[in-house]
Structure 1
Amino acid sequence: MTSLFVQEIRLSKRHEEIVSQRLTLLQQMKNKFGEQNTAKASQRQAANTAFKRNLSLLKDIEAAEKSLQTRIHPHPLPEVLSLETRYWASVEEYIPKWEQFLLGRAPYPIGVENQNEAENTIQNKAKQ
């Protein structure tokens, strides 16, 4: 019976050692998990700060680009804009007439005397 009693005491001590080791390992895991969470939070904060910095730099670059563009190509005068607008309106008005002429479906779109000049110019260039 004493041998069973001694064996019971030994097993009980071994059980306490195992429980103690388990508690130690659980504490180490808890500490490691906390460190990982802290590292992740730090990384998130660094990424957020870098994102904000990059966004700020991008805005600064865009502002500098816009500033340089206005220096290189200043806004044209209102008279120039008016001339440009009228020019493109005229081009759009004459496109259908010239298109038909170029496709060979209609005569030269401007007056007859201009047609002769244009034909002479084309013939002279062909001869050269």
Structure 2
Amino acid sequence: MASYLAQEVQLARRHDEILSQRSVLLQQMETHLGDKKTEKTLQMLAADAAYKRNTALLNTLYWASVEESIPKWEQFLLGRAQTPVGFKKKKSSEYNISHAKVAAQR
């Protein structure tokens, strides 16, 4: 009978140790999950900031290229010159096909 009591006490202590370890592991998991959520939030904020920055840069570069090409196109738009060099004129068949596709999509 004494051996059963000693064995029961030993099992109860082991049970308490396991519960203590489980509690520590659960706390570590919660902390880790919180860190991951914070990291993901920071990554999303950084990605959003990068997207906004890139969009602003693209817009700036677009308008800079427009301003740079204005002198090339100015005489053409005023009807005083031919199409600037580097501009590929669409063939009438390509023009009709592309407009037919756009009309079909509407």
TM-score, L = length of structure 1: 0.58
Whichever residue aligns with residue 44 of structure 1, its letter is: M
Which stretches of structure 1, 4 residues or more, deviate above 6 A after TM superposition? none
Which position in structure 2 is the counterpart of 1:30? Answer: 30
Structure of higher CA gyration radius = 1
Which position in structure 2 is the counterpart of 1:47? Answer: 47
Find the aligned partners of 1:14 and 1:72 in 2 and give their Cα distance: 86
- Structure 1 residue 34: Cα displacement: 0.8
Alignment map for 1:1-128 (pairs within 5 Å) = 1-75=1-75, 76-77=77-78, 80=79
Whichever residue aligns with residue 71 of structure 1, its letter is: P
Whichever residue aligns with residue 59 of structure 1, its letter is: N
SS in 1 for 2:74: coil
> Identity over the aligned pairs, expressed in percent?
39
Find the aligned partners of 2:51 and 2:23 in 1 and give their Cα distance: 42
- Structure 1 residue 69: Cα displacement: 1.1
Whichever residue aligns with residue 12 of structure 1, its letter is: A
Whichever residue aligns with residue 58 of structure 1, its letter is: L
Q: How many residues align?
A: 81
TM-score, L = length of structure 2: 0.69
- Structure 1 residue 71: Cα displacement: 2.7
Find the aligned partners of 1:12 and 1:71 in 2 and give their Cα distance: 89
SS in 2 for 1:12: helix
Which position in structure 2 is the counterpart of 1:87? Answer: none
Find the aligned partners of 1:16 and 1:47 in 2 and give their Cα distance: 46
Which position in structure 2 is the counterpart of 1:97? Answer: none
